[in-house]
Structure 1
Amino acid sequence: MSEIKVLWVDDEIDLLKPHILFLEGRNYNVTTAQSGTEALQEIEKDTFDIVFLDENMPGLTGLETLAEIKEQQATLPVVMITKSEEEYIMEEAIGSKIADYLIKPVNPNQILLSLKKNLDHSRLVSEKTTSNYQQEFRKIAMDMSMINSHEEWAELYQKLVYWELELENIEDTGMFEILESQKVEANTQFCKFIDKNYSDWFGNNDDAPVMSHTLFKDKVVPQLANKRTLMVVVDNLRYDQWKAFEPYLNNAYKKQEEDLFYSILPTATQYARNAIFSGLMPSDMQKLHPNWWLNDTDEGGKNMYEKEFLGAQLKRLGLNLNWSYHKISSLKQGRRLSENFKSHKNEDLTVIVYNFVDMLSHAKTEMEVIKELASTDKSYRSLTESWFKNSPLMEIIQQAAQLGFQLIITTDHGTINVKNPSKVIGDKNTSLNLRYKTGKSLTYEDRDVLAAKNPSNIHLPSINMSSSFIFAKGDLFFAYPNNYNHYVSYYRNTYQHGGVSLEEMIIPFAVLSPK
């Protein structure tokens, strides 16, 4: 570790000699100053890692010196030391972004703790996090080999996301690479689990998880009793992205419940989101509401009738509610709803579908700038977080809290960064999605896909008699042999959905109440 340079400013600096010797004995290089003016001169001619600053000095006061220091070097940590316990001084100092606040008399260990907290914090956290994950790594690896239920997979995925968020800010990139390889292995095992169990989750199966088509009945309806509710479905939102922006809700809401549920296959908007609003699987939507359901190869928007599907589901469930539905696909629409949100204050249920994350992930394949900004899961999370805290959605949620609405936040499916191509051949009527294909006479690599040769087994509609579905596993994406290299380089390292992975299928559902 390189030598740490400390500037200590106090008009009675001679009385602090024992403290200074104590720090020098631990290899800190301490420069002293007896006034604010002297301190500013030292800062001009030398570079310091931290400043200890007495508040009560003749001439320039500590607060005045602090203001000057911050003007010259905004990021230099300053620890204020004062005899006074007056609240206004604390508030002034904290408002000026001090690093710490100590009350005299200070002992050497307090000073040492403050130094470690401010200068060694990231190293100490990094070392502790690394050591904790190393212990957890073995446990996760053992758990993975024994998991045999959808609850255990949801728990394991939560654990992996927890460690991903813990490790993303530490200095040891080697640990992060180990976690990435563990996620790949987890997805390999998870695909085997889905292949074996998915078709058994339909019908009257008590072991089935909550899924897209049962979410509203099982999770939303119980929350609606005598509580006005704002339900926000953020399209394409992964669990790790939800965890990244959840803290921004803390001023307005407190969390009552957080759960994970399973998106149906394909993990694509027209299937999964229509299933949430209709309370039906796709083959039943096609049968009961042929005017509202479009197959992959049909012309037109595939999610045009979510409001009608929701109305039909509410009627079927015998719920006589005052409700409204809003789909937001642009900044302009979001602002308009934010401006008019108070007009919904007497509704039992206000539903908002927010398309931003979906637009972002699709734009990433089209726009080099977005591709650059969201090249990894970490930067993709950061981008989502930045959008959320500055979005009309945040304004709407704050208004909802003031009006006493409880808040439900969920999504239709997640998304995965695709890395590896898998060759597929189909006729001109084959669907275009990169993570699933439906059509007849599909040729593909067996090991790369979960295949549904009879779609009705998993409640999916058939475009024609011999149609089948295939779903890409893990981080694979489908590519046609013609113009293969161009296609692969264009789509590799983009965010896609429709296939089988923890990231796409295991997704968040949270209930929050206003503070």
Structure 2
Amino acid sequence: MQRYSILWADDEIDLLKPHILFLTNKGYDITPVNSGADAIDKCENTNFDIIFLDEHMPGMTGLETLAQIKTINPNIPVVMITKNEEEQIMEEAIGSKIEDYLIKPINPNQILLAVKKILDKKRIVSEKTNFSYQRDFQNISMAFNDHLEYEDWIDIYRKLVFWDIEINETENKSMTDVLDMQKAEANVNFTKFIKENYQDWLNDPDAHRPMLSHELMQKKVFPLLQKKKPVFFIVIDNLRLDQWKILESTVAEYFKIEEEDTYFSILPTTTAFARNSIFSGLLPLEMAKKHPDLWVNEDEEGGKNNHEHDFLEAQIQRLRLNIKSSYNKVIHVNQGKQVLDNLNNLLTNDLNTIVYNFVDMLSHARTDQEMIRELAPDESAYRSLTKSWFQHSALLDTLRILSEKDVSIVLTTDHGTIRTKRPYKIIGDRNTNTNLRYKQGKNLSYDKKYAFAVSDPESFFLPKVNVSTSYAFATEDYFFAYPNNYNYYVNYYKDTFQHGGISMEEMIIPCITLGNK
């Protein structure tokens, strides 16, 4: 075990010899001094791992000593020890970024705990995390042998997300490869589950099924209108469950998280299908039939998600909701600021829908720009980049203001993404769509072993461009690649975040209800 060096400054240092002997026997090297000036001299010439500093010393006080030590080494952890319980002294010490604050009389175990909490925390947490995951690993793996319902899959995915974040915080991340293997195994079994159940979810009214995209607003958003206060429905495109968990602590500073739910995105897990389904309250085939003027097929030109507002208004009218609503899409920074500036006007509406496209743009930018690829090479970095955006975004500024208003907020997404690792050859004609995780077209040719083939789209409530139109959905972490320029294509898209297919990451997505604290 590494030996740590500790500087201990106290004008009664001789009385602390039993404490010093106790720490020495525990493997720590102690340098005792009896004044603030001596402590500063030692800091100028020696590197210490931690400093214990008595607040009340003659001459230079502990707080004065602390200020000078921080100019020498601003990152060194300091524990303030004092007889003084005045709140002002505590606040000054805390404001000076001390690591801990102990009140005399102290016992040796208090000191040992403070040291371990500061110096050994990462090692102890890593060991505990790895041990706990190893214990849970068996439970998760055994669950794959059971007959699982959708609730079980939500529970498994939540556990895997939890361990992904926890293991990423450990010192050497030694369990990362094991976790990656278990996530891959989970997605193999999740794919089988979707293949066996998805069609029934859409066609059998008595099927035991999760909430799906087209039901989201009726089940989670519109009921909040009964509270007779403004409802804000915020959709962050491409936000995975693990990304939400990273943002959660920031959001929780301002709101009470009333409900943390999940729902399943419909197939394909893309904006054109899943997000339009949310706003229309319809499945894709129903949208194409009821709103042919709004629905844009794959073989037609024009944006596939340019009519979200129209779909939303049509759903409101169909449900006979007598409400005043607004729709705002934020793609550029200035649009986020415009929403922020217009917030007082939005508060006069019953329902305000705000779509933030940042995470979607991030995933596509990651594909297209080498710098972004370097910044987000894996899930952990992708989460970190998302958190950095959120903490400096107009969206967080909007949420801060709304936290002081009497409003209801639903924060969600339309689908997630998965990091694609394995290419999968497919052949299609020139009218086949370009998405890497699903294909729609005539005469699609591919090995169906690692894809979900849908030869009868209408039974899956998917529109047919032609009589012979079929769909193919990539599963697990595969992505479709054409034989032409195959190696270039594979190298370009491997390890990028894509959506459209079947995976827990794409389909099991967060829906959060926020309330005022």
TM-score surpassing 0.5?
yes
Secondary structure, aligned partner of 2:464: coil
1:33 & 1:466 partners in 2: Cα distance?
86
Would the alpha carbon gap of residues 219 and 64 (structure 1) be closer, same or farther in structure 2, given more than 3 Å must change?
A: same
Correspondence for 1:317? 319
Tell me which amino acid in the other structure corresponds to 2:91: E
Would the alpha carbon gap of residues 205 and 172 (structure 1) be closer, same or farther in structure 2, given more than 3 Å must change?
A: farther
2:213 & 2:181 partners in 1: Cα distance?
29
How far the C-alpha of 1:251 sits from its partner, in A, is 2.2
Larger CA deviation: 165-174 vs 498-507? 165-174
Say if 2:81 and 2:104, in contact at 8 Å, map to a contact too. Answer: yes
2:275 & 2:380 partners in 1: Cα distance?
26
Q: Is residue 221 of structure 1 aligned with residue 197 of structure 2?
A: no
Superposed CA offset, 1:371-410 (max 9, x none): 1111110110111111111100001111112122111101
Superposed CA offset, 1:467-514 (max 9, x none): 100000010011000100011000000000000000000000010101
2:60 & 2:298 partners in 1: Cα distance?
73
Correspondence for 1:288? 290
1:250-261 alignment, distance < 5 Å: 250-261=252-263
How far the C-alpha of 1:300 sits from its partner, in A, is 0.8
Larger CA deviation: 217-226 vs 498-507? 217-226
Say if 2:438 and 2:473, in contact at 8 Å, map to a contact too. Answer: yes
Correspondence for 1:242? 244
1:491 & 1:209 partners in 2: Cα distance?
32
- 482, 491, 494: which one aligns with 1:492: 494
Correspondence for 1:3? 3
Correspondence for 2:97? 97
Correspondence for 1:113? 113
How far the C-alpha of 1:248 sits from its partner, in A, is 0.6
1:375 & 1:27 partners in 2: Cα distance?
40
Deviating beyond 6 angstroms after TM superposition, the runs of 4 or more aligned structure 1 residues are none
Correspondence for 1:19? 19
Tell me which amino acid in the other structure corresponds to 2:219: D
How far the C-alpha of 1:221 sits from its partner, in A, is 1.9
Secondary structure, aligned partner of 1:145: coil
1:335-350 alignment, distance < 5 Å: 335-350=337-352
Secondary structure, aligned partner of 1:74: coil
1:149 & 1:59 partners in 2: Cα distance?
70
Secondary structure, aligned partner of 1:207: coil
Superposed CA offset, 1:1-27 (max 9, x none): 221100000111111111111111112
C-alpha RMSD of the superposition: 1.0
Superposed CA offset, 1:71-128 (max 9, x none): 2111110000011000000000001110100011111111111111111111111111
1:480 & 1:11 partners in 2: Cα distance?
76
Correspondence for 2:178? 178
1:275 & 1:349 partners in 2: Cα distance?
18
Correspondence for 1:390? 392
Secondary structure, aligned partner of 2:388: helix
2:468 & 2:189 partners in 1: Cα distance?
30
Tell me which amino acid in the other structure corresponds to 2:168: E
| Percent sequence identity over aligned pairs | 52
Q: Is residue 402 of structure 1 aligned with residue 404 of structure 2?
A: yes
2:87 & 2:456 partners in 1: Cα distance?
72
Secondary structure, aligned partner of 1:130: helix
How far the C-alpha of 1:206 sits from its partner, in A, is 4.2
2:510 & 2:436 partners in 1: Cα distance?
24
1:414-429 alignment, distance < 5 Å: 414-429=416-431
Say if 1:52 and 1:80, in contact at 8 Å, map to a contact too. Answer: yes
Correspondence for 2:35? 35
Secondary structure, aligned partner of 1:383: helix
How far the C-alpha of 1:205 sits from its partner, in A, is 3.2
Secondary structure, aligned partner of 1:461: coil
How far the C-alpha of 1:51 sits from its partner, in A, is 0.1
Correspondence for 1:211? 212
Superposed CA offset, 1:432-454 (max 9, x none): 00000000000111112001011
Say if 1:6 and 1:28, in contact at 8 Å, map to a contact too. Answer: yes
Note the residue ranges of structure 2 that are not aligned, 5 or more in a row: none
Secondary structure, aligned partner of 1:146: coil
Larger CA deviation: 312-321 vs 172-181? 172-181
Would the alpha carbon gap of residues 177 and 147 (structure 1) be closer, same or farther in structure 2, given more than 3 Å must change?
A: farther
Correspondence for 1:129? 129
Note the residue ranges of structure 1 that are not aligned, 5 or more in a row: none
Superposed CA offset, 1:400-422 (max 9, x none): 12122111101000000000100
Secondary structure, aligned partner of 2:142: helix
1:72 & 1:463 partners in 2: Cα distance?
70
Larger CA deviation: 270-279 vs 445-454? 445-454
Say if 2:234 and 2:354, in contact at 8 Å, map to a contact too. Answer: yes
Structure 2-normalised TM-score? 0.98
Correspondence for 1:48? 48
Tell me which amino acid in the other structure corresponds to 1:393: L
Secondary structure, aligned partner of 1:224: helix
How far the C-alpha of 1:173 sits from its partner, in A, is 2.6
Correspondence for 2:80? 80
Say if 1:130 and 1:172, in contact at 8 Å, map to a contact too. Answer: no
Say if 2:78 and 2:100, in contact at 8 Å, map to a contact too. Answer: yes
2:32 & 2:174 partners in 1: Cα distance?
40
1:468-479 alignment, distance < 5 Å: 468-479=470-481
Q: Count matched residues.
A: 515
Secondary structure, aligned partner of 2:226: coil
Tell me which amino acid in the other structure corresponds to 2:148: N
- 271, 274, 277: which one aligns with 1:272: 274
